[in-house]
Structures are given as structure tokens and as C-alpha cells.
Structure 1
Amino acid sequence: MMTAASLLLIVLGAGLASQWVAWRIGVPVIVVLIATGLMLGPVTGVVTLRLPPQELTGLIGLGVSIILFDGGMALKLGEFRRVGHGVGRLTILGPPLAWLFGSVAAHYLGGLSWPVALVLGAILVVTGPTVILPLLRGARLNKETSSLLKWEGIVNDPVGVLLTVLTFQYLTTAGGGPGKILASLGGAIAAAAVLGGLGGWLTGWLYRRGAVPEHLKSPVLMVLVPVVYWVSNLAQHEAGLLSVTVMGLVMGNMKLPDRETLHQSQENLSIILLSVLFIVIPSRLDASHLHLLNWHTALFVLAIVLLVRPLTIALATLGAPVRRNDKLLLAWIAPRGIVAAATAGIFGPALVAAGYKDADQLLPVTFLVIVVTVLAHGFTIGRMARRLGLAAKNDNGLLIVGASPWSVAFASVLKKLDVDVLLVDGAYHRLKEARMAGIEVFYGEILSEHAEHTLESQHVNHLLCATDNDFYNALACKAQGHRFGVHRVFQLATDEASSQELKRLTLQQRGYFAFDPVATFAFLHQRLQEGWTVSTSKFTASYGWSEFTQRMGERGRDWLLLGGISSDGMLRLYAAEQSFKLDAGWTALYFAPAPAPVAAPEEVKGEAKGEVAN
């Protein structure tokens, strides 16, 4: 018999392995997690949870509370100011419309009784962050479209659960009428305002005043969030998810100095919990559930995807200042996630116990909707968004912080090679030369909230901080490391880079030193004034790295390697701390005196301003 410790390790290992496999092969992570859960549960029986359904549901709720809190922290009021009209329609008008249309479809197409249809319609209101947020990470949507989907998913999760609770109470509570429903709704709102809103503000206030030591802030928050969820549920049944979402929203917008650290710790925990929950819940299904599905179920699922969602979006955004293409994408993208599955697991058995026999279909039908929507929307969101002009076609490019003659020269060469370049600077006059060269620019502070909400950088995947301030470069690299991945964050070498190791910035405090330890801001600009140029050289089977280096001389003194373009057009920046090999088919990017010594037939030379010769 498998011990609890062994079972926990299997679930954790399988969940995180599924996350990695999904990232590696470019498949929506939820698809792999559900498949893993089904394999470990109904198919092989490896994962068999012997907990009573009530206890398991309670544990699932605690996990979901942390995921929703993390989602609330990711919501920025600055985003709401930009897309507030659309978000308001999606979160105020959207849920009741989706509930109405979903219930009608469940009754007339799904063949369910009206009470069960009403509960199922409420359950499927949610388009949760457990699915939406992972999809957004890989879809490269623009800021506005991404904000609409993110706000809708996070806000509608607790709204859908609360709507399910109120519907269930109306159907099963003796004497339950409009007055009782309004009282329950008022209790949930009050619990969210006091425990979530006021509790979140008080927690942030105490953190800001140093009432909790730094090393305890994240652990305290990890425990406090489930406590708020539990206490809220005691105050009003199933009000906990709404409370923790409000708590996350409040703390995420309090401008706490350590907000990013707190959010990062919660996000890491959410990834683990997401891996566990999407394996545990599918494992609860068994073969008997499959016999409950029929052609009525298939019609209902098709109606949810092809009729209910488009009709909901069309009516909810009617007359709203939302772009047509955003409406088209929203009408298609509505994957259901862990909250829908957990809610169906709670109320399905409860409705059966209350005398509604067809309620045993709630869990399998909900899982079928989850699988279909995750597969359909997960595999098409990127393609459809690109077709509608709402997402970057690829993420092969470079964001350069700091406009200068050298960075403009480098950007011009990359642009000639069809590599996306975005140049950012807080001084408008420094961007003049780049604008004249046709380079995409952003005027603003890269570390500002304005840039966070408006800078469209989904088409670039490398960062180079190239200002004349070494320590600002290091600060910007650390701030943007999570966005790009620390292995793709570079800065110009610092002036003391060639001194003793203990006297310079450590790698944990900066980005990778780009190009060469001697490639400081002063060095690059001095060499540019001396006539050095950014140039390119194509490698072939007969002209490779050894021939190239023999011709160029001593690297660091006679020339600098800047990076390379692979045979399939992908950019790589070179760093002594993160080197790579340039094979045949690659194009080398280098900085050297002009004219170069002896030009190889395959070489393409650039001028001082980065113009590539034919």
C-alpha cells in the first residue's frame, strides 16, 4: 500500500514534470496536467485519494484561495484605467448573461432538469486564472487584450462561485426566497470588504511599517491567505474566494516596497499548487462517470463554445469602447479551469443528496467542458490573436535601454537583418537619431508603472541595458529579469569589471556582461569615434569560426564579438559568462575597425551607423 508521503511525492513530481514538458514542447500546460491526472487516476490507479469528498474539497479550496490571491496581486489599477469600460462590461454584465444562456443550453440541449441546469450554468460562468494566466504567458498578446482576458478571468472566478452558492441555496434551502438570497449576497460582499479589503490593507500597512521582519513576510502571507479564506467561509458560505481576490487586489496596488518579492513567492507557490490540483481532481474521475455522457452532453458542450460565449460577449460589450478584434478574440477564448472543477465536485453530490438525481452529471460534464475548452482555446489563442493583429508574430528581438550613437548603430544593423529592435530612453532628444533611422522607440522610464502598462515588448526576448550608468543598468536588469528570463538579460560591462572579483557587482546583482569584459560604455563609444563599425559575417562550411578569428586578430583588443543570428533567424547575444558556438549557417555580429582587414566573399560589412552593405 502506498504511503501518503510517496503519494505526495508522485503528485508533486508528476505535476512539475508536466509543467516542464508543456513548456518544452510548446503545449498548453493545462492539457498536459489533465492528461497526467487521468493517466495516474482512472487509467492506472496510481493516484487514489482515500479522503472523504468533504475533506478533499476543503483542501482544494485552500489551494485555489492562494492561486486567486496571486491572481488578484497581478491586477493593476493602471490597467483598469486603460480597459476599465471593457472590464466592467465583462465582469458585471458578462456573468449573468453567461449564466442565463448556459442554463438554457444545459436544459434544452444537455437534457438536465432546470435546477441542475441553473447550477451548471453558474459553475461555467468562470474563466479562471488557473488556465488564462498560463495561456497568456505563451500567447504574446498586446497589453490591452491581455488585460481584458486577465481581469475577466480573475474577477469572474469568485463571482461564478458565489453565483453557484446563491443558486444552490435558493434550490435547497426551505423558505429560501429573494430576501434570503440578497442577505447571502450582502454577507459575501461584507466579508470580502472587511476580511479581504480591510484585512489586505492592514497587512500591507503593517508590512510597510516593519511590524513583520523581512524573512517572515512571505511565509506569513502564505498562511494568512488561507486563514482569510477559511474565516470568510465561516462568516458566509463560499465567500472565501471573493475575499482573497479582493485582498490580493488591495495589496497588489498598495505600492509596497517589497511587492514584487511577495508576488514572486506567491506565484511560485501557485505554480506548485496548480500542478497538484490539476492532477488530483482528474484522478477523482472513474469509468462510471463516462457512462453519464451522451449526445446531449456533446450538443451542450458545443453550444457553450460556439453559441453561449459569443452571444455573451456580443451583448455584454454592445456599445462599449472595445476594439472589434478584441471582441472577436474574447468571443472565442473562455477556457474553464480548476475552480469550475472544484465547484462541480462540491455541489454535484450535494444536489444528488437533495434529491436531484441528474446532478451526478455535473462533475463529468464540467470536466468535458474543461478539456474541450482548454484544448480548443489553448491551441488556437496564439494563432487567432496573431491573425487579428493582437499578438506578436514571434518573440525574436532585442530591447535596448539607453539611446546613444553606439546603440543606434547596433540597432540599425539588427533591423537590416529583420530582427525586431525596441529602443527605450527617458530623454526624448536622445531618441531622435533612432527615430530617423526607422527604429521602433519608446519614450519613457523602463522602470516606471507607465512603461509596465503601456510598453509593448511581447515581440522581443532579449534585454540589453546600455546606458552610461553601470548601476542603473544593473537595476534595470534585475527588475526585468523575471520578464525576459535571467539568461536573456545583459548589460554593458562595468568600469571595474577587470578588477578583483570581490570588488565588482556579483552576477546575482546584475545582468550578464554583454560581449566582453572590456566592453564598457566608454570603450564602445571611444572605438566608435575611432572608426569602428558594427558588421556582420556569414559562416559557411568552408569559412567558419577558426578562419574568421584568424583574420580578425585578438578579440577584445582588435575586435569584439557581439552575438549571432542562427540559420533560422534567431538572435543570440554573446557574453563571456554565457558563450555559444557559431556554426555554418550562422551570421556573426561583431564590432571592429572599418574597413575590416580582408573581406571574405560571404561577408557583409556595416557602416558606422549600422547600414549593411550589399
Structure 2
Amino acid sequence: MQITPIEAIALVGILGVGAQWLAWRLRLPSIVLMLLAGLLVGPAFGWFIPERDLGEIYKPLISIAVALILFEGGLTLEFHRLGEGRNAVRRLVYIGAPLGWLLATLAMLLTMGLPWQVAAVFGGVLVVTGPTVIAPMLRQAKLRRSPAQLLQWEAIINDPIGVLIAVLALEIVLVVQGGLSTGEAVWVLATGIGFAAAVGVLAGLGVARLFQRGLAPEYMKVPLLFVMVIAVFAMTDALLHESGLLAVTLMGMVMANAKLASHSELHRFKENAALLLVSGVFILMAASLNFASLATLNWKAALFVVAVILVVRPAQVLLPLLGSSTPWRERILVASTGPRGVVMVAVSGLFGDKLVEAGIPEGTLLAPLAFVLVLTTVILHGFTLAPVARALGLSGGDKPGVLILGGSAFGIALAQALQKIEVTPLIVDPNFRNITAARQQSIAAFHGDILGEAAEHHVELIGYDVLLAASDNDAYNTLVATDLGQELGRTNVWQVQRAKENMSRHALPPQLGGQAINGELSHGEFQRRMAGGWRVRVTHLTEKYDLDTWRQDNPKALILMQRTARGDVTFLGPEQELDRTRDCTVLALTPPAETNESADTLRSQSDI
């Protein structure tokens, strides 16, 4: 049964976003669920076949989606964020990409015995590690900033480079097969690559200048950017196929380093768009698989896949990084992580057809071989990246973390209570006196502005699930909560009550600041209570000593946080009920009388 294009687009959206949401709920790699969903509705049951149900627009949609994904990736590549990793990225691009091409070509020749023409073209495609799959994997694995940036930069920069290497190899093959003269091939390549690079850089500079001079209103910046990206891709791709990927990547990189005032807003919108595009692309890719084409592969193909994962990828990373300052743990992690993405599948199918047209029938093997590689590496690295990163000490870890803005007496007391329940706290404060007080209590602390560039290099936000803005500056609390709400999630960002919150003229719209914690106390009120002997107390609730009993023993206490039996940590709002799940732990602000040792305390037998 054939479905309409509108139904097909709706189905792709539901499956893609649904798989991402389900993966988040189940804490599984989202890429694996997206591929599984596409395989089920496509080749398994035949409900949705992209080429049949979408028609001729199917492949152009894939091309535009990949171009937008690469542009969004380029928009994240800010040179000042690289820091010490700049040299490592250069090595992986300048040395790693050509080395990967050579090793992959040799691996195909030795394991599968295919003609050199096929091996050279596919070896170039294998340089691409797949930015479409790296981003979801990094988000799922909670990787630390340094190795995450290394993987992201390598994937995004090498993606168009790998495609261009494959284009170069294909043009050489066509010359040998009699399609073009050597001079014509060199001219096509040089003009195509040069034109793409020039257009990408000039477009990035032009759009950046347009935004900086205020020649485009805020509401038109994102639509204008989308149109420009598609136009740049179409213009350059018309001269040399796949060179548009280089152009849009360079355009994004130029804009990322132009220090635009609207950069964060543009990036966040593009990040959302990229998530939708990645979801759609993987559903389409999996649904378009033809099981019959996989039957053309044999045990030699399996041997080649093993060689790529265990030999080619490690050598492509470890050899260029010899003698570099990159820590050995990061080298091992990057070397053992090389998922391939949709770009490789799309390019392999196209170039395979061109090889067949040139009289090389083995070109038909490229498309199914590419899909097997994508499927194998995505599943393998999707499940192994997080545990390998944890084993190497390069992830946020399994312990939840709480970021506390402000090293006041309350902030320090809360951090000490969190340590008792094995939650990792970090106090951030620009006041060195507060930082000193926190460190004297053996609490991790960062001296500086959490929104500053120093924090980007020294604070691993990926290790913290919840933020409490509790400094003595209400405006600063609101600014930090609003800014980090985009990264941590609005439901995970909390803030102490602003001193003038209840005055209508000082009220803020709901999209600014964080959620108010239970009691709706201001920073000053928290400090006064701490000075008056109030303490942050930890109590473990059980079946014998439940919430109702605890409330009878502590009628004046304010429950601030809870940690469920599952391990999730969250603050409680003014009207939010405590999760009554058994074996949960509560952190409460209790008055002096309720903090003393008493019969009530002895009854619980569960206080920490």
C-alpha cells in the first residue's frame, strides 16, 4: 500500500522524534532506535518506501538535509573554544584524512580483492566519520568537553574533505577509463573546489556583515540564513557534485567565528533544526534499504568491516597524534569511536552508479557495503561509547551533579548535604572569599563567571544535571538561569526567590529565570535562617519511616530536594508534591529545634 507524500513526511517526523524521545526515556542510543524504526517500516513490513512514496524529491531532500546539518555543525566550530586541542584537530585533518584514505583503500584491496578503482573511491568516502551520528552519541554519552570537541571537529571538517577525496578518486578513475583527459579532470576539480571554498567563505562573511550592521531584522535572520545555506549549496554543487558540502561547512565556520551578537540564538535554533533533520535522514536511510542488495555481500565484506573498525580507524587516529599533547585516554577514545553516517551512504550510492556506467560492475557493491558499515558502527559505538568513556574517566559519570551558583553559607551547607547522598556538587562564585570558604569544606569550587570563556574550558557542564542560582545578585541569578536553561533544560534550572518578586512592577515573564524552589525564600532570607541555626538535613525515607511520619516530626521544615530510588535528583517547587516512591532521600531546611538530637531523630534511624 502506497502512502501519500504528506503522510510519508508525517510518518518520518513521528518516527524520528519519537525514537529520540524514547531513547531519552530509556537511556539508550537514539541512533540505534531510529535505524530500527526505519528498518521496521521500510524493508521489514514495506509500509514506507522512500523512493516509491516520495518520488523524485527523495534524494534532493536528503542532500539539502545533509547540507543544513553540516552548516549547523560548522556553526559550532569556534576556534577560541579549541584551546589545546587545536593541534590535535589539525593532525587528524591534515595527516589523518589522507592516511585514512590510503589505509581504507589497502584494506579493501587485501580483504575483498576488488578493483583498485572501486577501492580508491570507497576509501575516500571512508574518511568521513559522520557528524550526523556523532552529535546524538555525544549527547547520550555525556562526554567531557575535550574529547567531545575533538570528535565533533574531526567529523564536521573531514566530512566534506572525505567526499572531495572520493570525488578526486572518481575523476581519476574516469580519466583512466577514457571519460576525461588529465587536464580536463584537473581543471574540473580545481575550479569546483576553489569555487566552493570561495563562495562558502564570502557567503559567511557577507551574512555576518549583514547581521553586524543591523541590515536584517531579528525575525528574518534565521529564515535568511536557511535560504542562503540552500542557495550556496545549490550554486556550488552545480559546478562540482558534492562540493556544496565544503561550501556550507566553511560558511558555518566563518559565521561561528564572526562574534555575532545573535550567534547563540541562531545556534540554538539551528541545533533544533539539526535534531529534526538528523532524525528524518536516518529514518529515510534505513527505510530505503533493500535487503536483496545485501545478499550480494559475502564473508569478505564482513572481514573488511572488521578491518576498518579494528585497524584502519585506530591507525588513522593514533599515528597522527603521536608526539602530540593529547592525553592518551582521549587518543584511545577517539581511536575507538568512528561511526559512519548518511553522507557515506548517499555518496557511495551515487559514485557506485557512476563506476558501473564507466564499465566497472563491482561499483554496485558500494551502496550495500556502505549501509552495512553505517549499521555496524552506529550500533557498536552507540552502545560502547558511554561505557568506554566512563572506563577512561572521560564522561560525566553515573553520579548526578548539581551546580550551585553562589558560595554563601546556604550554598555550602547544601553542597555538604549533597555529598552525603553521593551527588557531586560544584559551587561557582566570582567572589574569591566564598570560593575559599567552600574549598575549606572540601567542596569543589570554580572562581569566576559561569558564563565566561574561562568556565567554558574549566567547568564540565556535562557532569551536572541541575542548577540552583543562589548568589546574592538577583539579576545575575536570572541571567545565568535563563542562559543555561537552554543547555540543562528548563525543568532542571532553579533559582532562589528574587527580593522584589512579589511587586508587580518588578515581575518578570516566565521565560526568564529559573523555577522557584520550595518556600520561595530570597537569598537574604536563606542567609538569615542559616545564621539563626537552621541547617540542611538529609533524611532517608523508607516504608517504616515514611513522608507522613517525617512531616509530623518536622512540621516547620522546608523540603528543598529529593533523590529518588532511581537516582534522579531534583529540587521541589512551592506547590510541587514529593515523589512518594519508597526509599527516596529528602534534603530539607530545618529549624534549630528540629535539628537537635531527639526522640524523633532516633525514630527515623535513616538520617545521614
Equivalent in the alignment of 1:260:
264
| 2:459 maps to 1:463 | no
2:541 equivalent among 539, 542, 549:
539
Equivalent in the alignment of 1:608:
none
Equivalent in the alignment of 1:512:
515
Q: Could you tell me how far apart the structure 1 residues matched to 2:181 and 2:239 are?
A: 20
Q: Could you tell me how far apart the structure 2 residues matched to 1:433 and 1:155 are?
A: 44
Equivalent in the alignment of 2:530:
528
3-state SS, counterpart of residue 445 of structure 2:
strand
Q: Could you tell me how far apart the structure 1 residues matched to 2:575 and 2:207 are?
A: 41
Q: Could you tell me how far apart the structure 1 residues matched to 2:54 and 2:15 are?
A: 23
Q: Could you tell me how far apart the structure 1 residues matched to 2:401 and 2:186 are?
A: 53
Please show how residues 160-171 of structure 1 align to structure 2 within 5 Å: 160-171=162-173
Q: Could you tell me how far apart the structure 2 residues matched to 1:562 and 1:52 are?
A: 53
2:563 corresponds to which letter in structure 1?
A: I
Equivalent in the alignment of 1:581:
579
Equivalent in the alignment of 2:20:
19
Q: Percent identity?
A: 35
Deviation of 1:133 after TM superposition, in Å, equals 0.8
Deviation of 1:582 after TM superposition, in Å, equals 3.9
Deviation of 1:58 after TM superposition, in Å, equals 2.8
Give the TM-score, by structure 1 length: 0.93
2:191 equivalent among 180, 187, 191:
187
Q: Is the 8 A contact 2:197 2:247 kept in 1?
A: yes
Change (3 A) 1:540 1:392: same
Q: Deviations over 1:246-286 (max 9, x none)?
A: 11111122221111111111111111111111121222222
Unaligned runs of 5+ in 2: none
| 2:456 maps to 1:452 | yes
Q: Deviations over 1:90-114 (max 9, x none)?
A: 1111111111111111122023211
Change (3 A) 1:577 1:357: farther
Equivalent in the alignment of 1:303:
307
Q: Could you tell me how far apart the structure 2 residues matched to 1:578 and 1:255 are?
A: 41
3-state SS, counterpart of residue 17 of structure 1:
helix
| 2:139 maps to 1:128 | no
Q: Could you tell me how far apart the structure 1 residues matched to 2:399 and 2:340 are?
A: 27
2:60 equivalent among 58, 67, 70:
58
Q: Is the 8 A contact 2:413 2:536 kept in 1?
A: yes
1:92 corresponds to which letter in structure 2?
A: Y
Q: Could you tell me how far apart the structure 2 residues matched to 1:177 and 1:563 are?
A: 73
Q: Is the 8 A contact 1:536 1:603 kept in 2?
A: no
Give the TM-score, by structure 2 length: 0.94
Deviation of 1:421 after TM superposition, in Å, equals 0.3
Change (3 A) 1:177 1:524: farther
Please show how residues 290-329 of structure 1 align to structure 2 within 5 Å: 290-329=294-333
Deviation of 1:359 after TM superposition, in Å, equals 0.6
| 2:275 maps to 1:275 | no
| 2:367 maps to 1:369 | no
Deviation of 1:55 after TM superposition, in Å, equals 5.3
Equivalent in the alignment of 1:37:
38
Q: Is the 8 A contact 2:465 2:488 kept in 1?
A: yes
Q: Could you tell me how far apart the structure 1 residues matched to 2:94 and 2:247 are?
A: 17
1:97 corresponds to which letter in structure 2?
A: L
3-state SS, counterpart of residue 168 of structure 1:
helix
3-state SS, counterpart of residue 109 of structure 1:
helix
Equivalent in the alignment of 1:610:
none
1:97 equivalent among 96, 99, 104:
99
| 2:7 maps to 1:6 | yes
Equivalent in the alignment of 1:244:
248
Q: Could you tell me how far apart the structure 2 residues matched to 1:491 and 1:182 are?
A: 61
2:146 equivalent among 134, 139, 144:
144
2:150 corresponds to which letter in structure 1?
A: L
Q: Could you tell me how far apart the structure 2 residues matched to 1:486 and 1:98 are?
A: 42
Deviates more, 1:177-186 or 1:19-28: 177-186
Deviates more, 1:38-47 or 1:398-407: 38-47
Deviation of 1:214 after TM superposition, in Å, equals 1.1
3-state SS, counterpart of residue 561 of structure 1:
strand
3-state SS, counterpart of residue 601 of structure 1:
helix
Q: Deviations over 1:475-512 (max 9, x none)?
A: 10111012211100001111233345x75123211110
Cα root mean square deviation, aligned = 2.1
| 2:547 maps to 1:549 | no
Q: Could you tell me how far apart the structure 1 residues matched to 2:360 and 2:280 are?
A: 31
1:208 equivalent among 204, 207, 212:
212
Deviation of 1:176 after TM superposition, in Å, equals 5.2
Change (3 A) 1:325 1:184: farther
Q: Deviations over 1:138-166 (max 9, x none)?
A: 11222111111111111111111111111
Deviation of 1:196 after TM superposition, in Å, equals 1.3
Deviation of 1:59 after TM superposition, in Å, equals 2.6
Please show how residues 474-485 of structure 1 align to structure 2 within 5 Å: 474-485=478-489
Q: Could you tell me how far apart the structure 1 residues matched to 2:344 and 2:576 are?
A: 44
Q: Is the 8 A contact 2:145 2:460 kept in 1?
A: yes
Q: Could you tell me how far apart the structure 2 residues matched to 1:249 and 1:442 are?
A: 30
Deviates more, 1:334-343 or 1:190-199: 190-199
3-state SS, counterpart of residue 359 of structure 2:
coil
3-state SS, counterpart of residue 535 of structure 1:
strand
Q: Could you tell me how far apart the structure 2 residues matched to 1:239 and 1:454 are?
A: 37
Unaligned runs of 5+ in 1: 606-612
2:222 corresponds to which letter in structure 1?
A: S
1:215 corresponds to which letter in structure 2?
A: Y
1:418 equivalent among 422, 431, 435:
422
Deviation of 1:77 after TM superposition, in Å, equals 0.9
Q: Could you tell me how far apart the structure 1 residues matched to 2:603 and 2:133 are?
A: 48
Q: Could you tell me how far apart the structure 2 residues matched to 1:475 and 1:208 are?
A: 23
2:7 corresponds to which letter in structure 1?
A: S
Q: Is the 8 A contact 1:297 1:365 kept in 2?
A: yes
Q: Is the 8 A contact 1:65 1:240 kept in 2?
A: yes
1:423 corresponds to which letter in structure 2?
A: I
1:242 corresponds to which letter in structure 2?
A: L
Q: Is the 8 A contact 1:95 1:125 kept in 2?
A: yes
Change (3 A) 1:341 1:540: same
1:12 corresponds to which letter in structure 2?
A: G
Change (3 A) 1:239 1:395: farther
1:549 corresponds to which letter in structure 2?
A: R
3-state SS, counterpart of residue 498 of structure 1:
coil
